[in-house]
Amino acid sequence: MKNRAFWCYMLLSLQTVSAQKIETALDSVMHRNFPADQPGGALLVVINGKTVYNRGFGVANLETKTPISPETNSRMASVSKQFTAMCILLLEKQKKLSVDDNLLKFFPEFNQHVGKTVKLRHLLTHTSGILDYESVLSPTQKDQIFDNDVVNLLKAQDSTYFEPGSRFRYSNSAFCLLAQVVERVSGKPYLEFITATIFKPLGMNQTTLYEPRRTIPNRAMGYARGKDGKIRFSDQSVTSGTKGDGCVYTSLTDYKKWNDALTTGKLVDLPAQLSRVHHRIEGQTDGFYGLGWFFTRTNGDVRELFHSGSTCGFSNCVVRIPEKRTLIVLFSNLADNHRPFADILNVLKSSAALAVDVWALHNLTN
């Protein structure tokens, strides 16, 4: 008994030392990249189901000097796509649609050929070939556009970039259309549906969507660094009003609740859904995309999931490793600021506690 107690004590001591080393190394990365008086970042690291790091650095608002914390709401940009995909899965669970339904079922106003050949699964895997709405916007557009505007921009287009389902091409248009599918099928505004089916059931009380006249409490403002090196206010753009492709605001605290729900399958069995809704990314031997996630597989099992998000004023990165009950999240209110996440992955990759696959790191640095 004494020997067993001794070795248990030694094991706990070693784990504590390892956690302390990780904490010190991550502190160094965060302090170096996010000065106290500049736009900042919030970092969450969960390893083997235990939170080993959860801190904010820098400020959420340069005018008020409000510090960033794990409760600060940041704009998720494309990290929002996983929530949009979940809305579709929940509607399918309710038997109100199928991922194999084509667009004409929901958008009878669409071009007949495009509407018949593009399916929801193509939208969910970035294989639709639907034109990028940014490419058909007027160069003189000043007012923000919304998801219904994207439908109007695309409905008369009589061609796609390629045959739907044949290849991967990242598409914001696809997820704007998915948000409109949610509204048309549910009969509710997208914000109302996603709040009732995801945010509220999971206790994500700080999480919401951007709307022009909607106040988002405890939110970070977005900033960008100009060519002259100066940081400027850069919170919104013409495309910031679209919901499906990138307007969720959430905090580290709430995102962990979302991750926990994905891990336990509280809403849906995500690995099972990914096994049927995915596309292999050309040039990647084990890289896939589906349901708002880039991911890798080993022997058919999901190994690592990754997504980043960028807007005119925010940069975000998320890595999930379900087998190791591991989550790594960095939210920053500075545009084009993914390099700190690569530094964070390097720290964790060299740690004895966690060997992070280099796939996500490769996508950040190449």
pLDDT at 315: 97
Within a domain: 101: yes
Within a domain: 278: yes
pLDDT at 313: 98
DSSP structure class, residue 46: E
Backbone angles phi, psi at 359, to 5 degrees: -60, -50
DSSP structure class, residue 127: -
In the numeric block, the tokens 């259309």 are attached to 177
- Cα atoms in the 13 Å half-sphere on the side-chain side of 64: 9
Give the CATH number for residue 207: 3.40.710.10
Q: Which residues does 68 contact at the CB level (< 8 Å), separation at least 6?
A: 34, 40, 41, 42, 56, 57, 58, 59, 60, 220, 333
Enumerate residue ranges in the chain where pLDDT < 70: 1-19, 351-366
pLDDT at 28: 96
Within a domain: 161: yes
Within a domain: 13: no
Measured in whole angstroms, the distance separating CA 118 from the mean position of its chain's CA atoms is 24
Within a domain: 192: yes
pLDDT at 3: 46
Within a domain: 350: yes
pTM of the model: 0.92
The answer to whether 287 and 294 are in contact (CB under 8 A) is yes
Closest C-alpha to 278, from 292, 264, 266: 292
Within a domain: 81: yes
Within a domain: 145: yes
Measured N-to-C along each axis, helices 339-349 and 358-365 cross at an angle, to the nearest 10 degrees, of 150
User: Could you give the number of structural domains in the chain?
Assistant: 1
Which domain covers residue 62, as residue numbers? 18-365
pLDDT at 348: 86
CA distance 58 to 283: 38
